[in-house]
Structure 1
């Protein structure tokens, strides 16, 4: 397994030198879908800083834990607001200025000001999917987007893949020329078509990049999207300032815009999902209704687990990924095939290249069990490990410590991340019983 020094990798992080740790926050799509507005977003902002719950007896907000960005995810634009007989621009005018739906967002600048007054950052959304555009690839439309982004006071944005403005390098150059720093999400679903949407070891004009289609609130979708990140960790393309991202967290989400496939997660699946996104250094972007006390009570111990978050935010030369798995496959995952789900969405968007690529992957069936790891030291003396059980029944999973890549050997001390308590000292291996669709999460430190 290739591994570089954490200091060497800093030299080829994203050019803007932001997001040196995986970004954390909240975005609107999984909760509101198309039915979003300024008043709804501001109500979310209030609850991101509310200290109505505690960690270790201390009143703690989501922002206190690191979730300090609130992002808008489509449908702010005035669709069909400009067109002529030759060029249907949809929501940009002829000069390149995007048009806002003022019925939904009467004063976006006051919204970003409100976020800043609460100690939050605000995320915008571009290259939109609702009323996507086909004739706005001229430079003036990029310039119009960047000018409005600056004028409205946003701190970052999600650049989706539906419209015709696909040159993320140009966006980066315009922001740099304006002297503006912005955390940028490249949301092009793991495509490998021109223009390039994957980073190289010395090029990354964004801060995190989607590796998959949209994740949905079911276990099959989560496991399929998780798998899409593995190659980027192994090739060292997921690193500080340029993180691979299998989409937003579905913890606490159900009955979302995916319809029947957004049935929601069990408590075990939520824990497995959050643990997986934590150990692979994915950005942690929430989408549940933070205003709903019942929802928050159900997921608080997961999303507020400081030890899991600390593992996510750590960097010691490798983003995290699998190191051992069963040769048997859990076949019932084919009941909901993320490739087929996303294919339907993408066919509607007209992205035939990605649709065909998804079909080639077949079902995202996953091993009966798989083990993921992430180094937590430079010298092979400490690791995080996640033991995932995808079977329909509980299973005894055996962790042989010598299987962990770059493990230096010897007796180890094991700590349970979920329970936040020490388990004990072991030598050679340990066995743990893991429930169906659950994951055991440990740190392993050489004594």
Structure 2
């Protein structure tokens, strides 16, 4: 009887093990501990589109160091679309041999030798937006290849995704990255169509909230079947999203156009507002050929400190009057960033009475009340003291420009 019971127990255990052996549970979540402040780096698309090769990437890495951008905190060199060659006989993606003759591993090693990190691009569909091989059906192989190359950041686009549901597709690539075992920042780029801010925080580290940015301060570029958006149009589309952003998970209003042809005033306003939004700061210009003004904007330590503030709270548009907007952003240590943005084509005057305008941020659970606390005021761009909140603040904001203040106790 005892032998019979032991045999039955062994049979039951064997059956249970066999039935459970077919269960394969995926980890659909991002790597934790990455992008605790908004990622800072560079991406090739805005300036170079499909004209990418290893020479450009190496020279850009060199320029990120020599320009002072690396010292300011920029670290990612991200290759966008069109780096792809064909897949090999086993299905593993290879770089274009003409554009990247040394191979991707050698390029990664070079970028790492500069103290920087390399990012790469793929697409959830059958083809990328530029017509190269997408990752659909090859997600786990592609993730293994990226890990083998030493990639640190993946931008994952949403072209040619017929029949796919965004949340499921991005969970698949997240699981593939987890299985490959190399921690990478995952940039979700499905243009905000399927409300990625609702499901993205568990899956990726940042998610695009809109379609593509366009190198224009205030306009829309109509491509027929789709549109790209000027800086102010992108800014407007961030309304209502601030509660979804925070350390390790960021709303992404797209890469920057600073240094790509707008005026210095417009570049300064663009950079300021991306910093107020706690947005990823991914430069999109030619780092090898920058003006002193462009370098000064991209590397301003005080503005970057607002963007990189450890609280990770996205700024709030407090008011709009005659194309003059007032934005506030709570900062660590009881500080506040306050921006007056002039969207008009003419200068505008600011007269802001701090004592008559107490500010309550319910989301951040913070209050700026000059009737209770006197704050010192620093003009961030001019690097000058502007007195305290005991007196109303008066200034003239140039056209398409900002006045950026930091208030501290």
TM-score by shorter chain over 0.5: yes
Moved segments of 4+, more than 6 Å: none
In the TM superposition, what is the alpha-carbon distance from 1:373 to its structure 2 partner? 1.2
Q: In 2, distance between residues paired with 1:250 and 1:183?
A: 22
In the TM superposition, what is the alpha-carbon distance from 1:197 to its structure 2 partner? 2.8
What does 1:37-436 align with in structure 2 at a 5 Å threshold?
Answer: 37-50=53-66, 61-78=68-85, 81=86, 92=87, 95-106=90-101, 107-127=103-123, 128-131=128-131, 137-138=136-137, 141-164=138-161, 166=166, 167-192=169-194, 197-200=196-199, 203-220=201-218, 221-233=230-242, 236-253=243-260, 264-292=261-289, 295-316=290-311, 318-326=313-321, 328=322, 368-377=323-332, 381-401=334-354, 402-405=357-360, 406-409=367-370, 410-427=373-390, 429-436=392-399
Unaligned runs of 5+ in 1: 1-12, 52-60, 82-91, 254-263, 329-367
Q: Are the equivalent residues in 2 in contact too, given 1:22–1:282 (CA < 8 A)?
A: yes
SS in 2 for 1:325: strand
Q: Are the equivalent residues in 1 in contact too, given 2:268–2:297 (CA < 8 A)?
A: yes
Aligned to 1:357: none
Q: Are the equivalent residues in 2 in contact too, given 1:245–1:283 (CA < 8 A)?
A: yes
Q: Are the equivalent residues in 2 in contact too, given 1:15–1:204 (CA < 8 A)?
A: no
Q: In 2, distance between residues paired with 1:299 and 1:317?
A: 25
SS in 1 for 2:69: coil
Structure-2 change in CA distance of 1:93 and 1:163 (3 Å) = farther
> In terms of Rg, which structure is larger?
2
Q: Are the equivalent residues in 2 in contact too, given 1:272–1:438 (CA < 8 A)?
A: yes
1:149-183: CA deviation from partner (whole Å, max 9, x where unpaired): 11111111110111437511121122223322101
Q: Are the equivalent residues in 1 in contact too, given 2:111–2:117 (CA < 8 A)?
A: yes
Q: In 2, distance between residues paired with 1:400 and 1:173?
A: 52
SS in 2 for 1:230: coil
Structure-2 change in CA distance of 1:95 and 1:276 (3 Å) = same
Find the partner of 2:32 among 6, 16, 24: 16
SS in 2 for 1:433: strand
Q: Are the equivalent residues in 2 in contact too, given 1:132–1:162 (CA < 8 A)?
A: no
Q: In 2, distance between residues paired with 1:317 and 1:44?
A: 28
Count matched residues: 350
Q: In 1, distance between residues paired with 2:359 and 2:349?
A: 18
SS in 1 for 2:139: helix
In the TM superposition, what is the alpha-carbon distance from 1:289 to its structure 2 partner? 1.5
Unaligned runs of 5+ in 2: 1-28, 219-229, 361-366
Q: In 1, distance between residues paired with 2:395 and 2:89?
A: 63
In the TM superposition, what is the alpha-carbon distance from 1:93 to its structure 2 partner? 6.1
Aligned to 2:404: 441
Q: In 2, distance between residues paired with 1:19 and 1:317?
A: 11
SS in 2 for 1:322: strand
Structure-2 change in CA distance of 1:277 and 1:102 (3 Å) = same
SS in 2 for 1:418: coil
Q: In 2, distance between residues paired with 1:185 and 1:212?
A: 13
Q: In 1, distance between residues paired with 2:252 and 2:109?
A: 28
Structure-2 change in CA distance of 1:429 and 1:43 (3 Å) = same
Range that drifts further, 238-247 or 176-185: 176-185
Q: In 2, distance between residues paired with 1:191 and 1:403?
A: 36
Q: How large is the Cα RMSD of the aligned pairs?
A: 2.1
Structure-2 change in CA distance of 1:116 and 1:142 (3 Å) = same
Range that drifts further, 279-288 or 157-166: 157-166
Q: In 2, distance between residues paired with 1:113 and 1:317?
A: 31
Q: Are the equivalent residues in 2 in contact too, given 1:323–1:403 (CA < 8 A)?
A: no
Q: Are the equivalent residues in 2 in contact too, given 1:133–1:163 (CA < 8 A)?
A: no
SS in 2 for 1:219: coil
Q: Are the equivalent residues in 2 in contact too, given 1:97–1:144 (CA < 8 A)?
A: yes
Q: Are the equivalent residues in 1 in contact too, given 2:158–2:190 (CA < 8 A)?
A: yes
